[in-house]
Amino acid sequence: MILKHGPVDILVLAAGEPRFDGTVLAELQRLAQSGTIRVLDAMILIKDDAGVRGAIDIEDLPPEQREALGFIETGTRGLFDAEDADTFFEGMAAGSAIVALAIEHYWAASLVNAVNASGLELALEFRVPAYVIDEAFSSLSGNK
């Protein structure tokens, strides 16, 4: 079987005092343009200081901001729904925001196809968080 998609991670990025300065947006766009990832959907939720919930819909943004998010697949928008929003809102403090992203590891599909074509099968998969990797490499360089 030839796979068309890579695995998908759901990332929920939280901020007590959000600073949407474009840094994350630029990196997501760069990774999407390089074919490393595909951003399948995004959800932006805000809870004001009084606890009032709000959501920013990509389609409701001004044209220039909507265009900046053009790397988010239009055919897959809507993967996050109202039930997801309710779940995310439950964990949010007043005066905070979250950005939820569905990111496909597009690069992985061709690797999995090569593995399958070689007669191999996946026996185990797990993710080691980046900070654990950084700590491991730091301890290696400190031991030398």
* Residue at 60 is within a domain: yes
Measure the CA–CA gap between 124 and 140, rounded to whole angstroms: 25
Q: CA of 65: how far to CAs of 22, 55, 84, 96, 121, in Å?
A: 11, 15, 24, 21, 43
Count of structural domains, the chain: 1
Q: Residue 124 — very low, low, confident or very high, per pLDDT cuts 50/70/90?
A: confident
- Averaged pLDDT for residues 60-73: 85
- pTM, two decimals, is 0.81
Domain carrying residue 32: 8-118
Lowest-pLDDT choice from 10-14, 21-25, 41-45 = 21-25
Residue given tokens 């343009």 in the structure block = 33
Q: What is the mean pLDDT of the chain?
A: 89
pLDDT at 143: 57
Residue 123: pLDDT band (50, 70, 90) is confident
With respect to residue 66, please indicate whether it lies within any of the assigned structural domains. yes
In a domain, 97, yes or no: yes
